Chain A
Amino acid sequence: MSGPNTQYDPVEVSALDPAAIDQAVQDALSAIAGATSLDDLKTVRTAHQGDRSPLALANREIGALPPTAKAEAGKRVGQARGRVGGALKQRQAELESERDERILVEEAVDVTMLPGRRPLGRRHPIELMGERIADIMVGLGWEVAEGPEVEAEWFTFDALNFDADHPARQMQDTFYVDPPENGLVLRTHTSPVQARSMLERGAPLYIACIGRVFRTDELDATHMPAFHQIEGLAVDEGLTMADLKGTLDRLATELFGEGIVTRLRPSYFPFTEPSAEMDLRCFVCGGTDPDCRACSGTGWIEWGGCGMVNQNVLRACDVDPEKYTGFAFGMGVDRALMFRTGQSDMREMIEGDVRFNAQFGMEI
């Protein structure tokens, strides 16, 4: 500290007085600490760091000092201004952070309110089910074939060994296009697609046919005049019923899960020989409940018909039965959906009530 300098203006000298500078710093620091908002801090900044603040004035005084005193005073004022500046900066950061946090709190909304401005639609689960089955078959290296719904009687029946006078033909409950003698029907199964595929593409052939079929059944809980079928047809050299069983087992596992139990039992279809029904072990009781309603206590649920392609079908479709054998199977997509989802009333599946689709996602 320097000694008294009588040449100094007492007022101006007082601005550079160490005590006064300390006081100015203390005043500034407490004002900064006391600022509770960014606006407060702005006022504080003007008062303690602005052009007219005590420290700014003190700074200006330095120029008037004798050179010997300048260094010391400069250092003192510089330090003081540094402390105030640092404190301001720190407080500024604190207040900004507080403000930011406050804004986030203030801006909070109730995200549990349902944002239903644009509701999602839905695919129909029957079509989704068909797509899932198609994807499984495609994964096995098969292709998906399609055909018309109004179809020639020959593709629908005769080519498939349904003799015009055989009772099996009558049991199909066929819709005939008027006049019936023109030979057009609504297909009762997707099998005409099998005939068309064999005729167009020959053997070897691995195709799945998925589509809508029609029977003259009145709509009730378990019958529909129009429903969906998936059929498979493989024609190749050396195919056997074991290949048929293997394919169906794989399809059942993919659709209904690992551990599903299947069985073949003898049956009859004009287009296959030997023929079989494929049953699935009851999903509900597993074959343990004699009063089970799902399987009527038999322990088995009928899944679909199948068999080795009848040689008459191969012949009619210009495939050499001496060289090739084939297997075919068919099942209801709607039934598969019922098994998978527990849906019990078929009417709900076709009435188009939007509440039905809304039960499911966009994948089955």
Chain B
Amino acid sequence: MRVPVDWLREYVEIPKQARGADIAAALVKVGLEEEGLHGADLTGPLVVGRVLTQQLEPQKNGKTIGWCTVDVGDANGTGEPQGIVCGAHNFQEGDLVVVALPGSVLPGGFAISARKTYGHVSAGMICAADELGLPDDGSGGIIRLADRLPAHELAPGDDAVPLLGLDRETVEINVTPDRGYCFSMRGVAREYAHSTGASFVDPVVALRDRAPAGNDAGFPVELRDEAPMRGRAGCTRFVARIVRDLDPAATTPDWMATRLTEAGMRPISLPVDITNYVMLALGQPLHAYDLDTVTGPIVVRRARAGETLTTLDDVRRTLYPQDLLITDGGERPLGLAGVMGGQDGELGEGTTAVLVEAARFDPVTIARSARRHRLTTEASRRFERGVDTDLAAAAAQLAVELLVELAGGRADAAVTDLAEPLEPVVIDLDPAAIGRLVGVDYAVDRVTAILDEIGCSIDGSGDLFAVTPPTWRPDLTTWPDLAEEVARIDGYDRIPSVLPAAPGGRGLTTEQEGRRLAANLLAGRGFSQVWSAPFVGEALFDQLGYPADDPRRSTLRIANPLSDEAPLLRTSVLPSVLEVARRNVSRGTKDVALFEHGLVLGGPAGVAPTYDVGVYPGAEAVEQIAAAVPAQPRHLAWAMVGEAEPAGWWGPGRAADWADAVGVVHALAEAFAVEIRVSTGAEAPFHPGRCARVELADGTYLGSAGELHPKVVSALGLSGRPVGGELDLDRLIAASTSPQASGLSNYPSAQSDVALVVDAAVRAADVEAALRRGAGDLLESVTLFDVYEGDQLGEGSRSLAYRLVFRAPERTLRTEEVNDLRDAAVAAAGTATGATQRI
């Protein structure tokens, strides 16, 4: 909401010296946050000048500059013409222009000084509208004052700052959705008074007194809402006033056009400008119809299916049955109530008689229409947030008075004022409760004084008051609403600071601790953490090589995605990490190791019912809602591109390979003391021969790691041999164990090496498992220390060399014992995998 300061001054006493910043500071205290200050950001000398000569000089760079002499009166101290170079030529000798003399500072801190340019000394600047922070006047460049200010007597040297309104200030504030009444000068003025104690006179009081009561001769209007929304009728008051004999040639006076422009609205025509002016001044949206195009009666009703309306913005809209319409005779739609008028009934150049509508529309009806038609207007914004419920007659009166005064019209004595009674809101208030909620011990008479100040009427005494909020505060419905009023008017700065003693909690959960551990572990191993938006496209699933029936293809779609390329929710984190890796490579970082943990979609979604606010729907309903939310496990993914160990003074680098990716899984398993099983996997997006499938001991799938499939690498725009992995972090953490300590043996260990020849298809993990099984409890460790494939073994075989380390808890093992254990291990491996010992 933009508030021109001089307009605000009309309703509330603001100290003469107060600037926009002071006003903003006063308003923020009562809850109207400053969004910006506009205007008065220019210092002169900015004067009227008359162009005496204009010599056009083509330049080598293709431009043509104008070398001008300009009469600026005595403003330059000499009375001599001022020489100025000007790049624009939409003016001529003899024109009155605006000159910024050396020493002036234009908006944006642009300081003007005499400078040498294009072979002249240019002592100032001939100004265009945008250079002064003014809206374009259609001149297409330099301001020609004869066009812009035709009614003014101007002389060279006159101060142009007040002439152009450049000394005027506008305060822009943010109005929260509960404060509809602050979308008006009247409302903001009232809040300024609350903040500062300044004297405020509500303009509506006098207008209401002057407004004639409705009578039978008024224009016929019928309220025919057959489908109230959420039990509330769409229109509960309709004031119609008629003004005739308007002078079609009458134009909007400068002062009104200026105020409208400063408030952010474009002047259109006098009657339209008057309705907008009244809305900005008082907060009541109005609509004016060309009376000669309306046969009547005006019928307010819901739209019918398939009905259409062409609104003032030239859009033909198909209406929804819930839309509330203003119609002529019940048939011809004249407008979408409270949102925007239609082209039928629109004011034209020849309009001489208008019907002014000031109505009370239900916020829900208006909000839904505005939303359905994606049409937020100045009117709908106000109705949605709540307009003063007793403003219609006063606002119509102001509009009528202005039409009479400025357009020479004549007001009909016949007045329509249809009003359905509103259920008054009365709030039961225990004044002490306010202090108990806010934490400040307010005296009872302080509470009542503040409520009185904001316009409430109060009945009762002691610990029970009946408080009726003013008509402009439909947001006040409960006693905590009144508590906020008391607290903010008394001042939030009076609230003390007390640290409450929480009963003490259980600390971080296992999941929270576990997540930190996993992330720290990855970072310690050289991976940099990233986090990506969770949106992906169907194409990505193809690029990753997911089969048609891959469950990772089934996910949810966003109805209103930011990008149509990525409307789906991710089911896997690794692709996000690969995308970030690609971005890093494209920015010149060739060796990248990244990880990310985040939620993925991991199950089907149901339908979650909703219930009205303020109502506990019951345990069963809550359960049903929660059950509709799809499972979203937390996944951890990592990837490496380029070298895992860089080259340096120590020697050559080492490219990241599958073992780096799989090594992460083992490190995590060790960190969480989780027993895992690794087997050969073939899941997309991995290389089918270089993919490790990882399961928990009970066979639960945990994740996969390895080298990426070459087709995936090229489809994702990567190169080389990227590696990576992904696992379900929730499952890993849930499987984490607290092993029991077994005591360490101080007796010496004994080792025995064996080389086993196996078929190349036999997996090392199976051989190792068999060795462990066969060796029994005295086996301390098994290490695969060499792998050999070669001619000596023949095609299709390989040799795996293991070091077995044995240790007994309470004695030194004898050599024969160790040999027996080794032989048992080898035998077990032989049985399980066909391994034979290589001699």
Contact = CB atoms under 8 A, between A and B. Distances in A.
A243 interface: yes
Contacts of B381: 167
B529 A127 contact: yes
Given A184-B556, A274-B483, A241 B437 contact: yes
A124 B529 contact: yes
A283 interface: no
B615 A316 contact: yes
Given A186-B558, A246-B498, A358-B528, A276 B492 contact: yes
B501 A141 contact: yes
B499 A246 contact: yes
B177 A249 contact: no
Given A154-B609, A352-B594, A353-B587, A176 B492 contact: no
A298 interface: yes
Interface in B536-585: 556-562, 567, 569, 580, 583-584
B608 A116 contact: no
B512 A268 contact: no
Nearest to B501: A141
A352 to B, nearest CB: 3
A158 B605 contact: no
Given A153-B608, A240-B439, A267-B176, A120 B529 contact: no
B437 A325 contact: yes
Contacts of B628: 152, 182-184
Interface stretch (B70-78, B417-425, B643-651): B643-651
B34 A298 contact: yes
Nearest to B363: A165
A124 B577 CA distance: 13
A182 B363 CA distance: 25
B632 A150 contact: yes
A191 B374 CA distance: 27
A314 to B, nearest CB: 9
Contacts of B529: 121-124, 127, 357
Interface residues of A, number: 109
A180 B177 contact: no
A273 B613 CA distance: 15
A142 B498 CA distance: 16
Interface in B364-380: 364, 367-368, 371
B518 to A, nearest CB: 11
Contacts of B648: 114, 116-117
Contacts of B390: none
Interface of B: 21, 24-25, 28-31, 33-34, 36, 176-179, 230, 363-364, 367-368, 371, 381, 384-385, 436-440, 478, 480-481, 483-484, 487-488, 492-493, 495-509, 511-512, 516, 519-520, 522-535, 556-562, 567, 569, 580, 583-584, 587, 589, 592-595, 598-599, 601, 605-617, 622, 625-626, 628-630, 632, 645-646, 648-650
A315 B533 contact: no
A317 interface: yes
A332 B508 CA distance: 21
B632 A316 contact: no
Contacts of A179: 559
Contact of A273 (B478, B495, B608, B610): B478
B613 A121 contact: no
Contacts of A296: 34, 36
A274 B650 contact: no
Contacts of A351: 580, 583
Given A122-B523, A357-B529, 20 more contacts: A119-B526, A121-B595, A123-B519, A138-B505, A141-B503, A155-B625, A163-B612, A177-B556, A177-B559, A182-B606, A183-B609, A225-B535, A241-B438, A245-B439, A266-B31, A268-B178, A274-B484, A352-B532, A352-B584, A354-B589
Among A126, A240, A245, the most chain B Cβ lie within 10 Å of the Cβ of A240
Given A171-B177, A265-B492, A274-B438, A123 B520 contact: yes
A15 B807 CA distance: 65
A162 interface: yes
Contacts of B367: 165-167, 170
